[in-house]
Structure 1
Amino acid sequence: MTSSFPAIPPLPEGDFFGTGPNDPGASRGQKDKKSNATTGASAAGVRALTARLAAFYFRVPIKAFFRTRVDIGAVLYTTYLQSLALYHDPAATNSKRIYPPPSVASTFAAGFTAGTVQSIFAAPLDALTIRFRTSDLLEQRYRTMWHYAAAKLKDIGTRGAYAGVSITLVKDSLGAGLFFSTFEWIKSQGFYTFVRWYYGVERLSGTQKAAIENQRATDTSSRPVIRPNYMIEPGFLLLAGAGASVLQQVVMHPLTQVQEVHYKRLEGLDRQMASKPSRVQTLELYGQSYRKSLKQCMVHARKAGGWRQWLFADFWRSTLRQVPSTSAGLIVFEVVRRKYGLGSEAARLQMDGYDILLP
């Protein structure tokens, strides 16, 4: 008997039965866009709500509330589902379980695409966030947040709304790519491999072996089955959510530090753009703002004792604030995705002489 955990191999297509695309009885119809939108909106809603609760606990300023809007999160999740169907053919069928599971390259590409689309929608919100002052509302310059948003967007125009979008694009696309690829790898390849290892024939208990022999004796027309503990898969979902959040923050946290430095220059840039410069002058102004931001980042890094110390300052505090909302959102994302999946037959992993019946 070996006690080491095996390396995760590519999962073969011929050892999985049930509602996956390899099952001849499963529907080959294209994913229903309405179900994708419902899945995305549900996951985004839970993530936004949990993030706001965490914001109260950690005393996050009101600016943080802009980015937790449900519609932006729904764009991310829905675009991911649509993109995954393009990069991984089995995902094009609306099945409860995608098998074989998508590769890291496929999920990263789908997440990268979703993050890119999200950044296009989120950039105006970022522009509003960094220009927001609580005193504006307290002094009743704006009646509501909607009044503020409309007035500010009219004031800064399209160019101002998308100023600094290149940093947002890099941050959101890479962050979402790592986010979804980590989540899918842990909850699919990681879960399947762990179940195979944990319920391998050499690790079965005497009771489980006796149950298998009893099934063989009483029903010769079907293969014996064993059922894994029902808490294993939810545990992997939680682990996947936490792991996805941490790896996403590895990219997003340092880029957010740089982004905040650059955004502090945007109000000055707004004043320069008010004179409606030519296209060449506009490009020069934006180029100067990026160069000045880089110099300012170098100053901050030198004061902090190095780039790593500055870029990753308060990393764990920020990450711990993200984990609850991320995990909750991803669990709802997976549950709703399965709810709208086709097929009701339980899925199985084929082992040597018996099957593992997946929940």
Structure 2
Amino acid sequence: MGYRFTLDDVAFLQTPTGIEALDSASMLDLSAVSMLADIGELRRRYGSYDGALIETVRCRRRGRARLDAADDMLFTDDALQQATASAVARHRAAEIAERFPGAVVHDVTCSIGAEIMELAAHEGISGVLGSDIDPVRLRMARHNGSLSDRRTTIVQADALTPTSTADVVLADPARRSGAGRVFRLDQLAPPLFDVLTTYAGRPIGVKCAPGLDYRMLRDRFGFAGQVQITSLDGAVREACLWTERDGDPSRRATVLRSRPDGSVAGYEVVDDGADQVPVGEVGRWIIDPDGAVVRAGLVRNYARRHRLWQLDPQIAYLTGDDVPAGERGFRVIEATGVAEKELRKRLAAHDCGSLEILVRGLDVDPDRLRKRLKLGGSRPLSLVLTRIGRKGIGFLCEPGVRF
């Protein structure tokens, strides 16, 4: 649990004195070593607001990895952990604008407003509303929303009480409680089924944890919409449930990757029925599909698109003679067994000094295995460990290369 902000804290942080105090706090180390001295300095100068200052600065530092405007935003620790990355929210805003031109969008669990900032920034969306039940987060959302060039309407309201006739509704039920992270769909706040029921018949996107069991969602809750799994720079960020998607594929993987110039590129794989791919011997390359493709259950669809094949029908590793553009491939040097003695011998023969280990289908801890292999060479290599049928097999590869 992080620091518990009060409305007075948030009000202070927005005053000229509070802004100056945040600038001063941002110059401090705020590490475990310096914390006692830093607290004393801030308490001497700003009294009881020291906790709010420290928490805000530390949240801003952590938030830089996912939120473009983190250095000017206000946060709580829990809200930051669940905040949608700017690139993901920006992609969703563009998608909504394309599907519903000129739409008014209502984020009914807006929290600190990370999502509504990107919605407001898109010219194809005509209006943005945000609501939440937590008054502290709402006060922060109003501040964060003010960082956008366009006005947003933010009000206090329960997500299970419809308060607008917006064209599109977004919801992001809380995935944490006082006891920590929750995983059951009925433990979300508000519960997922209640959200879907409340807005039945309206276009709604509900953000959930990427580990969502969407098969159970369909079987138990009767969800008939689309499940979209999104990753950013190789990390799976969320599952979004879309209703009112008649005629659309039931599953979709969205893969987003940051470019050196700061822009974001991406591609999508959908459940288009084209999932019949061969199983065969290893080709020149092994490809480990992006986690969004794997979580969405679209490995075969992806393989068919790029003329790849599987090593085993139950394993997500793919192989082929070419690597799809933008993907990371591992060029196969040789196959090997998985016994440590054999691995140690083959790695020594190739002068391996550093080793990346990828594992699917076997109970192997890469870090522990790497230590036991006692590498002493100078060449970096990769090792792909998997199974074909019931037999474990390894593939010694050159280091992964992105094409």
TM-score category, normalised to shorter length: under 0.3
TM-score by length of 2: 0.19
Q: Greater strand share, 1 or 2?
A: 2
TM-score by length of 1: 0.21
